[in-house]
Amino acid sequence: MNSLPSAIHTRRSWLVLALAGGLSAWASLAPGDPPRVDVVGVEPMPGQGMEVRLLVKLRVINPNDSALEYDGLFVEMDVRGKSFASGVSNARGTVPRFGETVLSVPVTVPALAMLRQALGMAQGDRSPIGYVISGKLSGPQWRSLRFNSAGEFKLPD
């Protein structure tokens, strides 16, 4: 009868060791620094109804010593502190180690968001337009890298 508690203790020890090994292996898959993402271009696209569609070009910079694989991209943009646009892309590829690539993401601007920004400009607000872009690069095997970047641009006089 004494062998049964010993067997349970041995199984428990192996389970703890396997779990610890699995967690350390999973932690080694974690990326280093998050990618830097900057808006480098915006082009109009055909829209439907009252929505506006834009093709946003993003420069993704990988500051890590290993390549960054991605399989899908989600983006949200805030302009002047208000939600402005969002979009997704099923693009797939790799950003080389200490390298960069430009990704294009179609985004939709709801009519209300566009109207809100137009009213601000119509009221004479010529201050620099601040934006925040955030999102995630989906990667293989449940790895997703979140990013957040901010900037501003000035309207021409």
Could you report the per-residue pLDDT of 29-73, keeping only the tens digit for each?
445 788 888 888 889 999 888 888 999 999 999 999 999 899 999
Q: How confident is residue 27, by pLDDT bands cut at 50, 70 and 90?
A: very low
Instruction: Give the right CATH number for 32-153 from 3.20.20.140, 1.20.120.530, 2.60.40.1820, 3.40.50.300.
Output: 2.60.40.1820
Q: Say whether pTM exceeds 0.85.
A: no
Nearest to 148 by CA among 42, 85, 60, 80: 60
Quickly tell me which residue has 């192996």 as its tokens: 14
Cα 157 from Cα 85, distance rounded (Å) = 25
pLDDT digits (tens, 9 = 90+) for 106-143: 999 888 777 777 776 677 767 788 889 999 999 876 67
Strand pairing category for 82-95 and 68-79 = antiparallel
Q: Tokens representing 105?
A: 């993401």
Residue spans per domain, the chain:
1-30, 32-153
Helix (H/G/I), strand (E/B), else coil: 22: helix
